[in-house]
């Protein structure tokens, strides 16, 4: 606590300022500054290697930035915390490749994700409760997997696994969801349903979506941040950024 | 099946032990039904190995930690019991010194080292047989899991751990009898070790402890803690981003498992009558992994079955062709890995305790999804549109 954490506007939920991260001489994140308002949904796009995943890693504590501020809520410094503490603080993360507990049932996947005491001593004595069952039922309905509750996660289709993982995020009851390419490998119908699901989630929580699929980003209809070479290239509505000459340069090349 | 194996396994273990005990004690040596002390002793030894196998299966099958050093905890439990048995010899040793074991007199020591004090009391030795493996496991596990050492690297340091202990216990100035270890035990808690009744009682006790360890392990993996453990095994980073600390989950099961191995070792030593550094040999730990692989990883009852069957085979084969055992063991491991990757229990029992492990024989990942989708499609289910 050498100096007070930098602060964004009071309405900010997440605030990154001047963040740098270098891997073996490669500048993955270069003086990145982004802020996300409470209740906002933001789409982050950018070519491969733009630093989207590294940004997620830095927010969730997997990677420590070399320099810069990462502040959650009014004054929580995320650079000082590890993954479990950040998760317990209320930041959920969905991986690019759907990551569920394959040898557990859909129901148990959600059960283990439910917000609660995470210590081994607690789980050793934990009993099923009615409150838990009710929450899981509600989640199953949200992610449209009610009829699959007893199936092993390993046996779900790709799209269903993506939804299950989103359901697990919701079960954590986070304030902020970071969602990495949620519609990769989904059919058009599933993509449409996922956009709907995320808009639904956004009613009560803030969401950051990293996505390549422009149709999907358009369907979300939210503010877009374009990353390039580790910093923000452009920000605005999808139409605005698509019209930005810098973005056209990066995406179409010269 | 889950419920069935829960009751069946302890019933079989204790039942067989009692039948052997009756046939040993209540039949005359001339009777065709008589079971010799030798056979009873073997059964007791197999049961101790079964406890080691259970310990290995807990960490390998349910936490994904492939331990190649678990015999170290077994041997430490054994040494604690060996120290008690050595002190129990008292003045009946070669040098007839009630205060100092023979091997200490032999290397010229004048008084008992501080860490031997207390081991003349049986309950103290029993408690230490639990505490010593637990403390070593806790310290080792804390450092290894906190540094996020996993996979093959962790396997290698577990192997290094047992090898380091092997070298340490070889040294005379460690005060544990060096190369020769400890032997010539006379009695345990006042009961002479050369009596049939003592042999039988130790065997039945081993059966009771094996059954208890099995029930404890089943409770552990059946609890929500056990579910998180399997989740850590299958997707460690997911558990971390859900707010769990996988290192503590591993540490708990690792330490409990070391204690089960320690009990096995403590019961083993009075039954075989000797403890020496060869129990720390890396090959012993690897053998324990093979027992579990043969019986069925992640099944618990399979670990017991594997330990008993493989050691039965070892007894037969080392009697018939002493040089062939290591080749047979290696061959068995290769065959099981190739043709029966889920082991005996995993192959012949459709669904055993807890979640099933995916194995080489069945489609995994995207292939599994594709084949599942194909199956559903054949069955007339539209897999693309969830209900």
pLDDT at B217: 97
Q: For residue range B113-165, what is the model confidence (pLDDT) as tens digits? A: 999 999 999 999 999 999 999 999 999 999 999 999 988 999 999 999 999 99
Taking the Cβ of residue A200 and every Cβ of chain B, the question of whether any pair is shorter than 8 Å is answered with no
pLDDT at B381 over 70: no
A110 and chain B: CB distance < 8 Å anywhere? no
Whether residue B235 has pLDDT greater than 90: yes
Q: Confirm if B232 and B363 have CB atoms less than 8 A apart.
A: no
Query: Domain-by-domain residue ranges, chain B?
Result: 2-378
For the stretch A93-124, pLDDT in tens is 998 888 999 999 999 999 999 998 999 999 99
Provide the pLDDT for residue A251.
76
Q: What is the CA radius of gyration of chain A?
A: 19
Q: Which long-range contacts (CB under 8 A, 24 or more apart) does A215-220 make?
A: A215/A191, A216/A183, A216/A191, A217/A43, A217/A45, A219/A191, A219/A192, A219/A195, A220/A41, A220/A43, A220/A195
- B223 and A125: CB-CB below 8 Å? yes
> How far is it, in rounded angstroms, from Cα A34 to Cα A32?
7
Q: What's the pLDDT at B2?
A: 65
> What pLDDT tens digit does each residue of chain A (254 aa) get?
444 444 556 678 999 999 999 999 899 999 999 999 999 999 999 888 889 989 999 999 999 999 999 999 988 999 999 999 999 999 999 988 889 999 999 999 999 999 989 999 999 999 889 999 999 999 999 999 999 999 999 999 998 999 999 999 999 999 999 999 888 888 889 899 899 999 999 999 999 999 888 889 998 999 999 999 999 999 999 999 989 999 888 876 64
Q: Is A188 part of the contact surface with chain B (CB cutoff 8 Å)?
A: no
Q: How confident is the model at residue B4, as a pLDDT?
A: 80
Subunit contact B223:A123, Cβ cutoff 8 A:
yes
In chain B, which residues touch A (CB < 8 A)? 220, 223-225, 227-228, 230-231, 234-235, 237-245, 248-249, 252, 354-358, 366, 368-369, 372-373, 383-387
Q: What distance separates the 2 farthest-apart alpha carbons in chain B? A: 84
Q: Which of A93, A120, A147 sits opposite B225 (nearest CB)?
A: A120
Structure tokens at B370: 């594709």
Report the share of chain A in percent with pLDDT over 70. 95
CB of A6 closer than 8 Å to CB of A17: yes
In order of B1, B80, B106, B250, B369, the CA distances from B350 in angstroms are 8, 41, 58, 28, 21
Q: Identify the DSSP state of B31.
A: S
What is the model's pLDDT at position B385?
A: 32
Q: Tell if the CB–CB gap between B225 and A88 is shorter than 8 Å.
A: no
Can you tell me the ipTM of this complex? 0.89
CB contact under 8 A, B240 and A84: yes
Instruction: Scan for tokens 């859909």, then name that residue.
Output: A106
How many Å lie between the alpha carbon of A25 and the closest alpha carbon of chain B?
25
Using an 8 Å Cβ cutoff, are B68 and B282 in contact? yes
Q: What is the pLDDT of residue A135?
A: 96
Residues B277-332 pLDDT 10s: 999 999 999 999 999 999 999 999 999 999 999 999 999 999 899 889 989 999 99
Backbone angles phi, psi at B244, to 5 degrees: -80, 155
In this structure, the number of other CB atoms found within 10 A of the CB of residue B188 comes to 20
* Chain segment B185-202, per-residue pLDDT in tens: 999 999 999 999 999 999
Question: Whole-model pTM?
Answer: 0.89
pLDDT digits (tens, 9 = 90+) for B322-374: 889 989 999 999 999 999 999 999 888 755 444 444 444 444 444 444 444 44
DSSP characters over A46-112: --TTSSHHHHHHHHHTSS--SEEEEEETTTEEGGG--HHHHHHHTEEEE-SS----TTSBHHHHHHH
Q: What is the pLDDT of residues B167-226, one digit of tens each?
A: 999 999 999 999 999 999 999 999 999 999 999 999 999 999 999 999 999 999 999 999
Tokens of B232: 């850590």
Residue A162 CA: distances (Å) to CA of A106, A165, B214: 12, 5, 37
B205-to-B13, B106, B196, B292 alpha-carbon distances in Å: 11, 35, 14, 22
A120 touches chain B (CB under 8 A): yes
CA atoms of B21 and B88, how far apart (whole Å): 26
pLDDT at B360: 40
- Report the C-alpha gap between A248 and B186 in whole angstroms: 88
At B350 the pLDDT is: 56
Contact B373 A157 (CB under 8 A): yes
* Amino acid A2: pLDDT: 41
* Facing B231 at nearest CB: one of A112, A126, A160: A112
What pLDDT sits at residue A97? 86
Q: In whole angstroms, what is the distance from residue A248 CA to residue A230 CA?
A: 17
CB contact under 8 A, A103 and B237: no
Q: What is the mean pLDDT of residues B1-25?
A: 90
Chain mean pLDDT for chain B = 90
Give yes or no for A154 touching B (CB within 8 A).
yes
Mean pLDDT score of chain A: 90
> Are the Cβ atoms of A120 and B383 closer than 8 angstroms?
no
Instruction: Report the percentage of chain B scoring pLDDT > 70.
Output: 90
């Amino acid at each position: 606590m050498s100096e007070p954490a930098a602060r964004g506007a009071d309405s900010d939920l997440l605030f990154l300022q001047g963040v740098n991260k270098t891997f073996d001489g490669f500048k993955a994140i270069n003086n990145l500054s982004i802020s996300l308002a409470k209740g906002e949904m933001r789409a982050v796009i950018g070519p491969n290697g733009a630093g989207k995943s590294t940004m997620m890693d830095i927010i969730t504590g997997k990677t420590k930035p070399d320099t810069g501020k990462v502040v959650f809520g009014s004054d929580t410094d995320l650079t000082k915390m590890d993954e479990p503490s950040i998760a317990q603080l209320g930041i959920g993360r969905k991986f690019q490749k759907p990551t569920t507990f394959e040898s557990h049932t859909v129901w148990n996947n959600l059960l283990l994700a439910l917000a609660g005491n995470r210590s081994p001593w607690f789980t050793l004595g934990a009993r099923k409760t009615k409150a838990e069952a009710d929450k899981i039922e509600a989640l199953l309905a949200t992610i449209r997997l009610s009829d699959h509750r007893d199936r092993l996660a390993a046996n779900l289709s790709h799209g269903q696994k993506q939804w299950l993982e989103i359901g697990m995020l919701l079960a954590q009851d986070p304030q902020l969801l970071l969602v990495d390419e949620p519609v990769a490998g989904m059919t058009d119908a599933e993509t449409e349903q996922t956009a709907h699901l995320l808009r639904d989630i956004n009613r009560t929580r803030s969401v950051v979506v990293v996505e390549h699929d422009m149709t999907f980003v358009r369907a979300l209809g939210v503010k877009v941040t374009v990353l390039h070479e580790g910093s923000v290239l452009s920000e605005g509505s999808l139409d605005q950024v698509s019209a930005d000459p810098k973005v056209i340069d990066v995406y179409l090349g010269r | 099946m889950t419920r069935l194996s829960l009751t069946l396994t302890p019933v079989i273990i204790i039942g067989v032990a009692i039948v052997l005990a009756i046939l040993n004690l209540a039949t005359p040596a001339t009777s065709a039904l008589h079971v010799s002390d030798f056979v009873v002793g073997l059964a007791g030894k197999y049961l101790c190995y079964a406890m080691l196998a259970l310990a290995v299966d807990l960490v390998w099958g349910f936490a994904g930690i492939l331990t190649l050093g678990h015999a170290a905890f077994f041997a430490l439990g054994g040494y604690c019991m060996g120290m008690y048995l050595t002190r129990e010899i008292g003045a009946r040793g070669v040098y007839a010194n009630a205060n100092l074991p023979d091997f200490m007199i032999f290397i010229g020591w004048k008084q008992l080292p501080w860490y031997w004090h207390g081991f003349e009391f049986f309950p103290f030795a029993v408690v230490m047989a639990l505490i010593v493996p637990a403390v070593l496991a806790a310290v080792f596990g804390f450092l290894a899991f906190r540094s996020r050492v996993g996979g093959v690297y962790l396997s290698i340091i577990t192997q290094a751990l047992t090898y380091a202990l092997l070298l340490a216990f070889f040294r005379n100035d460690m005060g544990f009898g060096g190369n020769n270890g400890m032997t010539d035990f006379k009695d345990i808690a006042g009961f002479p070790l050369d009596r049939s009744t003592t042999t039988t009682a130790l065997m039945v006790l081993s059966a009771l402890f094996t059954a208890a360890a099995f029930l404890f392990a089943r409770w552990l993996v059946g609890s929500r803690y056990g579910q998180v453990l399997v989740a850590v095994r299958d997707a460690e980073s997911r558990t971390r981003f859900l707010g769990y600390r996988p290192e503590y989950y591993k540490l708990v099961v690792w330490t409990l498992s070391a204690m089960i191995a320690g009990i096995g070792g403590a019961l083993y030593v009075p039954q075989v009558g000797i403890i020496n550094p060869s129990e720390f040999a890396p090959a012993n730990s690897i053998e324990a992994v093979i027992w579990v692989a043969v019986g069925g990883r992640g099944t618990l009852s399979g670990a017991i079955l594997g330990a008993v069957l493989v050691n039965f085979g070892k007894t037969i084969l080392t009697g018939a062709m002493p040089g062939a055992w290591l080749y047979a063991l290696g061959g068995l491991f290769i065959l099981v890995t190739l043709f029966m990757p889920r082991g005996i229990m995993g192959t012949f029992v459709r669904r055993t305790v807890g979640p099933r492990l995916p194995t080489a024989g069945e489609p995994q990942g995207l292939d599994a999804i594709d084949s599942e989708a194909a199956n559903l499609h054949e069955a007339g289910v539209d897999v693309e549109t969830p209900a």
